[in-house]
Amino acid sequence: MAQGIKDKVAILGMGCSQFGERWDVGAEELIVEAFDEALEDAAIDRSEIDSAWLSTAMEFVNVGRSGLPLSMSLRLPNIAVTRVENFCASGSEAFRGAVYAVASGAADIALALGVEKLKDTGYGGLPGGASGTLSPLWSATGSAPGSFAQLASAYRAKHGIEKNDLKRAIAHVSVKSHANGAKNPKAHLRRPISEDDAINAPLIAEPLGLFDCCGVSDGAAAAIVTTPEIARRLGKDNIVNVKALQLSLSNGSESGHTSWDGSYFHTTRIAASKAYAEAGIRKPRDEVSMFECHDCFSITEFVTTEDLQLSPEGGALKDVMDGFYDADGKIPCQIDGGLKCFGHPIGASGIRMLYEMYLQLQGRAGQRQLPNPNIGLTHNLGGAPNQNVSAVCIVGAA
Amino acid sequence: MVGITGYSAYIPKLRLQRSAIADAHTWYDPSYAAKGRGERAICSWDEDAVTMGVEAARGLVREKRPQTLMFASTTGPFADRQQAGIIATALSLEGDMRTLDMTSSQRAALGALSQAVASVNEGSRDILLVASDKRRARARSPGELAWGDGAVSVSVGCENPLLEVLGSGMNSVDFLDHYRASGKDFDYDWEERWIRDEGFSKIVPEAISRALADAGIAPEEVAHFVLPSTISRAAHLVARAANLRPESIVDNLAACLGETGVAHPLFMALNALETRVKPGDFLLVCSFGSGCEAVLMRATEAAAKYTPPISVQDALALKQPETNYFKYLCFNRLLEVEEGKRGEAAEFQTSLSASYRNRDMLLGLVGGRCTQCGTVQFPSARVCVNPQCRATDTQEPYSFRDEPAKVSSWSADYLAFTPNPPSHYGMIDFVSGGRLMTDFSDLEVGDIDVGMAVEMRFRIKSMDHPRGLPRYFWKAVPARAR
């Protein structure tokens, strides 16, 4: 029986760039911006980093392939740098690489950095990108909003929810994230909106309107990790430890077998269960203080609250409308604005989520600071509801 | 006796209202004000002569595997790739069957029919002839108003024919009423009155008299006279010249379909069979183009009892009026429109080796059925998709072409590039248990919901314009009422 990752690795320092339409910079500048903050926070020299992981998903837009963009931008001392890509969950994958390196003892200090420079395509929304020589010849043509929008049709059919009731609930999801994002100086979108703004916005993919979709942003985020012992030796207190780190990937059942009804994330349910077991959490709704989920679209966040066992199955509508996930609710969600408003530079997003949990746990979240959070969870998803990569990470006080 | 033993029709769902065409052009030519009557069938952006051909052929193939498959068209998308072969693979008929394309003349289909009859007389069995045309006309050209898109298939054999072929007559003449040069998009034609007086009136009667002589029938015995022509009164003048009774002239379907090119003689004849022919009646079917071919047939008792997979009348009835002329121009790429950066980014090269390796899957919608647990799945895979099975190398080919399905999730996507936004796609579950994330076609905003019954159609999934390759696959459309 594996021992799991709980309390083997501590976060030594984190950094995050300004997210947004960074027309003036490329990947190199974004990498340096996030890294400099993390390095200063960790209070080490870059020569002390043993190993590094770079996550970027749409490398063809600007960043380029391999670990070289990271090694060269930071002039790292010829150490190992591995580039990872796991769709929009790439950031969590880079973090996982660094954490495992430290946990194994192969590295004392490791770096995970995610970056994406998306605003070089000439159009809004995510670029499609290459999907192999066979898949585009048969798999349905679509965009990210169109694949995730399907959750709404299946969820409504399963739970017998009226179209307008779901539309208002997902509008509330976005209103809450906009309110939170307005308080985050690094966020891409900082304007509060009303439910009616969200409901009346132009349709992107039925039933998702413009405000149901997250920002497509440029940005980078970085984490430097080490063991709790080394962190203490370096003079750190108020240490944040990794409590659980789980990844679950589709194996084709959802897309090829009718056992899945299309209304939830099969992988998220598995990753969440394993993560709670790893972290020793028995009652997530009572024990999780706050979370950042992969709110690429409002409907994704909506169904994910159930997949993370925070809302009971079929209970998301009531919880959302009751304000359970608002900043002043029982379990604040997307307190930094989330993908929705902080923005979604793909390769950076998983690490950006951890950045907010880390700041909150250390009491450094400024205007957004929650009272005494104890356990933070991040959920980072890549792919589409029927075929995806789901990462769940839990962090908490050492 | 040899003849037509079965048939099936396919007409694309959209019917462009001629009033929409007339409204667009009357400013330029006031005579258009009087031309806005009736409707014509138009393909959606994802249909061509091959996709229509597959739809027309599939019902007949279900009944019997043919020995030969002929595809007749002058508008096939390929100059050098056998279109009958695409249809054969799409219907899982690859292998020892003979396939061939007949083209280059408006009488390609009737010529193919005579050839098929001759082959059966010489000992061949069961020939499937697919006639299909999607003629491209310049905006504001006569063809834009007069033509229609459609396909029909007939099986030719000697078992229990509906229409026995009694004789035929030829008049091969290089009469240039119109032509389309290789590599050109559009026809070039000559004055209608000359075509009618020097072409139809002189060339067709000679072919008719030869066919009547071949069959030993007098002109007044012909009960149904089929002659496609978009020229006013051409059929009447020919009938008079050939001593045919005026009431024998069969409706040319101009009001509800438009002239479907090489397929049209068959469309008119089969529509007549459904609406006016009685057993024992003689039909004279003529096709004008590079001269004329005339075929004399007799309806049998079997015709009265026959139910085609899709009748002409049913195909005509399944329709949706389209009043947006601009949409027709866009679907046919008759207008340079901005398709946006997403349209530009959607372009990609097609791997011919990957397509060939997976041709049964892509053209035939063939997935797998696990022989261990019975689970059907798409695509077929080495390891079974059933979480309770996971057996390796147990799958046999299983086609989902003819299987009904229901929508389990969907969206109408305004962001993704498609020539016909919004892009409708979603998950469908087949009755047998397989599922597919598929594109939907032939539906409008608001038509779809979870639980809706759908069925599969052979369509263009996406078009590789720079390399001229339609990438065929299957899409779900609302199920026909049964």
Domain CATH number, residue B98: 3.40.47.10
E-strand ranges in A164-314 read 203-205, 208-209, 219-226, 240-249, 290-292
Nearest to A141 among B381, B434, B439 (CB): B439
Tokens of A93: 């994958």
Same domain assignment for residues A207 and A272? yes
Q: Verify whether the Cβ–Cβ distance B411 to A205 is below 8 Å.
A: yes
Same domain assignment for residues B378 and B242? no
* C-alpha dist (Å) from residue A303 to A272, A398, B180, B389, B427: 13, 31, 58, 29, 18
Instruction: Summarize the confidence of residues B260-264 as an average pLDDT.
Output: 98
3 state DSSP class of B112: helix
Taking every pair of Cα atoms in chain B, the longest distance, rounded to a whole number of angstroms, is 75
* C-alpha dist (Å) from residue B136 to B80, B187, B258, B328: 19, 9, 13, 11
Count: domains in chain B: 2
Residue A53 maps to which CATH number?
A: 3.40.47.10
ipTM of the complex: 0.93
Domain that holds residue B312: 3-330
Is pLDDT above 60 for B482? no
**What percentage of chain B reaches a pLDDT higher than 90?**
96
Count: domains in chain A: 2
Does residue B341 lie within any of the structural domains? no
Same domain assignment for residues A35 and A155? no
> Amino acid identity, residue B343?
G
Between CA B145 and CA B152, with CA B147 as vertex, the angle to 5 degrees is 155
Tokens of B85: 């072969």
Separation CA A33–CA A219 (nearest Å): 9
Q: In the listed set A173, A204, A233, which residue is the last one of a domain according to the structure? A: A233
Prior bond of A284 cis (ω within 30°): no
Using one digit for the tens of pLDDT, what is the confidence trace for B270-316?
999 999 999 999 999 999 999 999 999 999 999 999 999 999 999 99
Is pLDDT above 80 for B351? yes
Residues 6+ apart with CB under 8 A from A237: none
Tokens of B355: 């397509």
Q: How far is A297 from chain B (nearest CA, A)?
A: 14
Q: Verify whether the Cβ–Cβ distance B413 to A259 is below 8 Å.
A: no
Residue numbers of B between 80 and 119 with CB closer than 8 Å to A: none
* Active site annotation includes A88: yes
Query: A172, A188, A294, A344: which one is catalytic?
Result: A344
Q: What's the pLDDT at A124?
A: 86
In chain B, residues with a C-beta closer than 8 Å to the C-beta of A123 are 340-342, 345
Same domain assignment for residues B378 and B301? no
What is the mean pLDDT for each group of 10 consecutive residues in chain A (398 residues)?
92 98 97 98 98 96 95 97 98 98 98 97 82 91 93 98 98 98 98 98 97 96 98 96 98 96 98 98 98 98 98 98 98 98 98 98 97 97 97 96
Separation CA B70–CA B68 (nearest Å): 7
Does residue A225 lie within any of the structural domains? yes
Separation CA B324–CA B329 (nearest Å): 9
Same domain assignment for residues A194 and A223? no
Q: What's the pLDDT at A1?
A: 60
Using one digit for the tens of pLDDT, what is the confidence trace for B188-215?
999 999 999 999 999 999 999 999 999 9
Using an 8 Å Cβ cutoff, are B135 and B143 in contact? Answer: yes
Tokens of A363: 């009491």
Does residue B432 lie within any of the structural domains? yes
Judged by a CB distance cut-off of 8 A, whether residue B252 touches chain A is no
Domain that holds residue A297: 144-213+239-397
Q: How far is B62 from chain A (nearest CA, A)?
A: 24
Tokens of B251: 């409706």
The dihedral formed by the CA atoms of B83, B89, B94 and B100, expressed in degrees to the nearest 10? -10
Between CA B80 and CA B86, with CA B84 as vertex, the angle to 5 degrees is 80
Prior bond of A385 cis (ω within 30°): no
* Active site annotation includes A344: yes
Q: What's the pLDDT at A2?
A: 86
Same domain assignment for residues A204 and A226? no
Residues 6+ apart with CB under 8 A from B345: A121, A123, A127, A128, B417
H helices of B216-259, where?
Answer: 234-241
Query: A88, A214, A333, A393: which one is catalytic?
Result: A88
Q: What's the pLDDT at A376?
A: 98
Same domain assignment for residues A24 and A91? yes
Q: Would the CA dihedral through B451, B456, B459, B460 be positive or negative?
A: positive
Is pLDDT above 90 for B481? no
Q: Give me the DSSP letters along A33-48.
A: HHHHHHHHHHT--GGG
Q: What's the pLDDT at A51?
A: 98
Does residue A369 lie within any of the structural domains? yes
